[in-house]
Amino acid sequence: MGNIIKAVCQCGLESGEIYQGIGFRYFENGIRIEPAYCGDCGIIVGRDMSKSFSKCPQCRKKVKFYKEDVEESEIEKELGLATDDYLPEKEQWLCPRCKRETLGSEFMGMWD
C-alpha cells in the first residue's frame, strides 16, 4: 500500500514512478520503499529502506533517503512505523542534479 510519486525539478530532472510505501507482506519481510537519491549520478530512485545498504543502480554507491533528513515524531518512533506524509509537508526537496532545493514531488496515484 502506498503512493505512486514522481520527483520533478526545474532543471529537467525527472524520476521514474516511485512506488512509495510498504508491501502487503511488510510484517514478514519489512520491505519499505522510499525515494532516495544519488548525488553523484543525479538520479532519484525508489529503494528499500529496511536494507542497511541501498545501492545506486548506476554507480553502486550508497544512496541517501530523503526520509533521513526529516525528523520523525515521537509517536512514529514508538510504533516503529513512520508515516508516508512527510513528502507533502515540505514543498521543495534537494535536487541531486542541480543541488538546489527546487525538487517537487508529484502525486501520481495509489497502489495496493
- Judged by the rule CB under 5 A, the positions of this chain that interact with Zn ion are 9, 11, 13, 38, 40-41, 56, 58-59, 95, 97-98
- Cα atoms in the 13 Å half-sphere on the side-chain side of 9: 19
- Strands 18-22, 2-9: parallel, antiparallel or unpaired by DSSP? antiparallel
CA 49: distance to chain centroid? 9
Look up cell 509537508; give the residue: 89
* Shortest distance (Å) from residue 112 CB to Zn ion: 30
Q: Which is nearer to Zn ion, 82 or 95 (CB)?
A: 95
* Shortest distance (Å) from residue 40 CB to Zn ion: 5
* Shortest distance (Å) from residue 35 CB to Zn ion: 14
Q: Which is nearer to Zn ion, 18 or 56 (CB)?
A: 56
Q: Which is nearer to Zn ion, 31 or 41 (CB)?
A: 41
Name the nearest CA neighbour of 1 among 27, 29, 20, 17: 20
